[in-house]
Amino acid sequence: HFSFGVPCQCAVADTFSRQKNQDQYCSNIALKLNTKLSNSWNKARAWGTYFNTGGGQEGGIPWVKDVPTFVMGIGVSHGLGADSISVIGASVALDEGCMRMAQELKVQTKSDMIADSVMQDIVKALAIQFTTANKGKSPERILVYRDGISEGNLNRSKENELRSIRQAFYDFHRMYYPNFSCDNSHCEGRGCLFCTPPITFIVCQSQHSIRVVPDEEPADRNKNVHSGTCLDHTVMDFRNKLNMTETLPEDPSIELFEVKDEGYDFLLTAQGGLKGTSKPIYYRVLLNENAIWKKGPTPLTKDALQLCTYHQSYQYGTATKAVRSVPVVYYSKRLAEMAMGYINYLRGRKGELPDTVGGVIGNQLEDVSEEEQKYLPRGRDGAPIGRFKFVRQDADPNESLPSEIRTELLPSFSPFERRLEDSNKWRSPFRPHLSA
């Protein structure tokens, strides 16, 4: 694969013969093969997800399958030391089964928050890939799973990163639809709830001290709670509110769901524990506009969100069972951690690069607000350290390439040439996800 770009899968006969459960081994191989061969034509999948609707069973991820839904996961890997970087991996599900992924890779100065321009580049690039894969259908709803946010930065993430997502979709709509405009007088070209898809923004916290154990000890060897155990009351610290602060424009086409103003945070133990005490993921729902904004047939209620998250846990391409977190976050974290190990080669700190691989250079990031300046990294003299994002050296600025293309580093890890043969045109950054 790394030499010719051909997906491959190895299976060793001796390993197969030593398996106690050979059917499980074959299922694992089949899952990997289907993940690698899946595309928009064959829609290959090792299995489909089905859920009961009262009147029978339906396939696909609950709620996601109703209308084109932009399910995005973001994972960050931080380097060590003061003069270091943050590698940001992002994935978006291209199909209603949340198994086919497209990914983005960006690098910025080490920070807990993703810079505004970097987040906008990520969202615009993934929105383009989502629309391309869905034959021109742009997202109607947004579901974001954000990893790597500590308790003290929840409000900063909600304030800054949500603003960047709205701005990115506003710019994306203006690029795709020349006659696009917003009827909200308060929008002022920044993107708002009335001209961009409604957003549900969830922080996935894995570093916490909460454990969920059975009230009565099971008789079998496994003493953990069952896979799919969800806790959404008593110990929850609800931070999100559904109060509408924007002024509604006079448009009869705008409809709202009638739902209770309740908290949506929950603890989910999706994995089945084999050894030790299972540790759940703490899902902190900072914003849930899809519970009230009628952009589909059903609202994203508390039960719908929990079921949607649990079903996604079965779509990881290297596990035949549910994994601890949602795959869009797992793939993003894996991508960020893999790139962190190689990024110094692209920076020229590990020797000269071959001609087939492009290096990177740092571009200055935009200034931050006065409120955010106190969070900037500082040197020993107390002065703020320069903030930058990496762009590809082979992306000549004279070619007027958009920022989301110039900052995309995935082509440096691809076995394909960066330009099409016998042409000056760039090859599309559209890439299969990590399992491929």
pTM of the model: 0.90
> According to the model, what pLDDT value does residue 216 have?
80
pLDDT of residue 167: 95
| Distance set, CA 229 to CA 145, 148, 187 (Å) | 19, 23, 41
Q: At what angle do helices 154-176 and 116-133 cross, to 10 degrees?
A: 50
- Specify whether the CB–CB gap between 114 and 164 falls below 8 A: yes
DSSP state of 419: B
**Is residue 52 scored above 70 in pLDDT?**
no
CA dihedral of residues 327, 329, 335, 340 (deg, nearest 10)? -150
Query: Is the per-residue pLDDT at 89 higher than 50?
Result: yes
pLDDT band for 125, please (50, 70, 90 cuts).
very high
CA 427, CA 420: separation in Å to the nearest integer?
6
More confident residue, 246 or 293: 293
What per-residue confidence (pLDDT) applies to 130? 93
Q: Tell whether the model's pLDDT for residue 430 goes beyond 60.
A: no
157-211 pLDDT, tens per residue? 988 999 999 999 999 999 888 888 888 888 888 888 888 999 999 999 988 888 8
Q: Which residues pair with 307 in a beta bridge?
A: none
Mean pLDDT along residues 55-72: 84
- pLDDT recorded at residue 46: 56
pLDDT by residue (tens digit) across 357-385? 668 888 888 888 877 888 887 777 888 78
* Residue of 276, 271, 278 lying closest to 310 (CA atoms): 271
Comparing 436 with 10, which gets the higher pLDDT?
10
Nearest to 401 by CA among 363, 366, 434, 367: 363
Is residue 249 within 8 A of residue 276, CB to CB? The reply is no
In whole angstroms, what is the distance from residue 408 CA to residue 10 CA? 30
pLDDT of 394 above 70: yes
Q: Which of 38-47, 127-136, 354-363, 391-400 has the lowest mean pLDDT?
A: 38-47
Mean pLDDT value of segment 104-122: 93
Task: Report residue 342 as tokens.
Answer: 């190689």
Share of the chain above pLDDT 70, in %: 80
User: Beta strand 57-59 with 50-52: parallel, antiparallel or unpaired?
Assistant: antiparallel
Higher model confidence: residue 184 or residue 228? 228
Q: How wide is the angle at C-alpha 61 spanned by C-alphas 57 and 64, nearest 5°? A: 120
- Bridge-partner residues for 362, per DSSP? 390
* pLDDT mean across residues, the chain: 82
Please say whether the beta carbons of 264 and 307 come within 8 A: no
* Predicted pLDDT of residue 181: 86
**CB contact burial 111-146 (16+ within 10 A = b; e otherwise):** bebbbbbbbbbbbbbbbbbbbebeeeebbebbbbbb
Tokens of 376: 């900037």
Evaluate if residue 250 carries a pLDDT over 60: no
- The per-type count for the chain, helices as H runs and strands as E runs, is 8, 12
How many Cβ atoms sit within 10 Å of the Cβ of residue 411?
A: 22
Report residue 212's pLDDT band, with 50, 70 and 90 as the boundaries: confident
User: Does pLDDT of 246 surpass 50?
Assistant: no
Nearest Cα neighbor of 73 from 122, 115, 110 is: 122
pLDDT at 63: 92
Q: Please, are residues 41 and 100 in contact by the beta-carbon 8 Å criterion? A: no
The answer on pLDDT for 103 being more than 80 is: yes
Alpha-carbon distance of 321 to 16, in angstroms, equals: 19
Question: What pLDDT, on the 0 to 100 scale, is given for residue 253?
Answer: 57
Specify which of 167-171, 251-255, 427-431 reaches the highest per-range mean pLDDT: 167-171
